[in-house]
Amino acid sequence: MDVSVDLTKCQSYAQCVLEAPEVFELGPDNKARVLAGSVTPDNEKFILAAADLCPMQAILVAE
C-alpha cells in the first residue's frame, strides 16, 4: 500500500491524526504527513478510515 498526502489539498483539519496517530502527524507547516515506516498491514484499516474521514480528500491510497 502506498500512502501520501496531497499538500495542496490538506487544510490541517487533522482528522487523519485523530484516526491514525501511528501513521499521520502534522508537520511544522501544519500539513499532514505520513510517518516513515508506519504503513504496515496492521495499520491498513486505520489508513483507509483516515482517508475516508479527510474532509478535503487529501490522503491518497494506492494498492
In the chain, the domains with their CATH numbers are 2-62 (3.30.70.20)
Cβ(59)–Cβ(16) below 8 Å? yes
Region of 48 (left: φ > 0; alpha: ψ -120 to 50; beta: rest) is alpha
Beta-ladder partners of 59: 5
pLDDT of residue 63: 85
Per-residue pLDDT of the chain (63 residues; tens, 9 = 90+): 999 999 999 999 999 999 999 999 999 999 999 999 999 999 999 999 999 999 999 999 998
State residue 1's pLDDT score.
94
